[in-house]
Amino acid sequence: MDEEEGIEEIMRRVRRVEIRARRLAQDVFSGDYASSVRGQGLDFDEFREYQPGDEIRFIDWNVTARMEAPYIRKFREERELSVILAVDISGSTDYGSDFLSKRERAAELAALLGFSATHNGDKVGLLLFAKDPVLYLPPAKGGRAVLRAVREILTVKAPNPGTSISEASKFLLQTLKRKGLVFMISDFVDWGFEKPLGTLARQHDLIALPLLDPLEKKLPNVGKVYLRDPESGHEVLVNTSNSNTRMGMSKLSKRYREGLDSFFSKHGIDSANISTKHDYLAELHRLFQRRAHRRR
């Protein structure tokens, strides 16, 4: 495939993602998003006459004196948010045992969240990271910002294919000057990120979306195979016909995911597991319903 054909294929992939994501954002998901995110603060809206049950602290005494009746200040929530899509593009995200790789699922997910945010009037930015932060696009309004984010997720290559959620968290802590909404989309195959990610969660509204391929939960019985770490290049021969081996890997994967869930819970980080194979809309719906319930 020459360079021109490669660009055309990438644009076809972007358009496929865009069509599905726009439809879902408009028809299915934008209400969930809007009801579950909180703006930056309160803006003054108008004065109105005091009614029983109103909070006395909102009475405006100057207007009350002029009108010779008690009036209060009404406020509306400042809706506009800066939404950051922090997307892992390390070597492990190029893996996919079925139709989509983790990176392709991340692009689709980012498009859905991005279009939902733009429909809500929010700005959308992008951080691509691997061993280090690779690309940062400051938050901007409109569908073009989302489409560029999708294109970059699908095409950018990381100079170092390793993973450092710590470095991504530190970058966002240094870069974001106002409280924002951060979607961290990663397989979270990393260690030692607890402190910086926990700090990020305290300073911003952080939602973790772990990507999971079905084969990471249950290894199939296919005999002896070489398993290669896409980030380190290390290979190991594994006999998948051995039931103890399959059971051991399944237990290891389950234990790691349970530890991740425990960490998220401890730090008040909302999360939803995103499968590369199965539909993830139900998981997202439950996530945003929980958030909306807390707001009420």
Per-residue pLDDT of 162-195, as tens digits, reads 999 999 999 999 999 988 999 999 999 999 999 9
Confidence of residue 19 (pLDDT cuts 50, 70, 90): confident
Q: For tokens 């707001």, what's the residue? A: 295
Residue 155, H or E segment: helix 143-155
Give the model's pLDDT for residue 151. Answer: 92
Q: Is 187 helix (H, G, I), strand (E, B) or coil?
A: coil
Give the model's pLDDT for residue 296. Answer: 65
More confident site: 9 or 86: 86
For the purposes of burial, counting CB atoms within 10 Å of the CB of 139, is it exposed (0-12), middle (13-18) or buried (19 or more)?
Answer: buried
Q: What's the whole-model pTM score? A: 0.81
Give the model's pLDDT for residue 75. Answer: 58
More confident site: 43 or 98: 98
Q: Which of 92, 97, 88 shows the shortest CA–CA distance to 134?
A: 88
Class of domain 3-37+81-295: alpha beta
Q: Which of 257, 269, 265, 135 shows the shortest CA–CA distance to 197?
A: 269
Give the model's pLDDT for residue 27. Answer: 67
Mean pLDDT (the chain) is: 85
Residue 258, H or E segment: helix 243-266
Q: Which of 159, 162, 39, 182 shows the shortest CA–CA distance to 110?
A: 182
Confidence of residue 7 (pLDDT cuts 50, 70, 90): low
Indicate where the chain has its CATH 3.40.50.410 domain(s). 3-37+81-295
Q: Is 89 helix (H, G, I), strand (E, B) or coil?
A: coil
Q: What is the mean pLDDT of residues 262-282?
A: 93
Per-residue pLDDT of 204-253, as tens digits, reads 999 999 999 988 877 777 777 777 767 777 788 888 788 887 888 788 88
Give the model's pLDDT for residue 278. Answer: 86
Distance CA(186)–CA(153), nearest Å, equals 12
A 10 A CB-CB count for 202 gives 10
Per-residue pLDDT of 93-150, as tens digits, reads 988 777 789 999 999 999 999 999 998 889 999 999 999 999 999 999 999 999 999 9
Confidence of residue 74 (pLDDT cuts 50, 70, 90): low
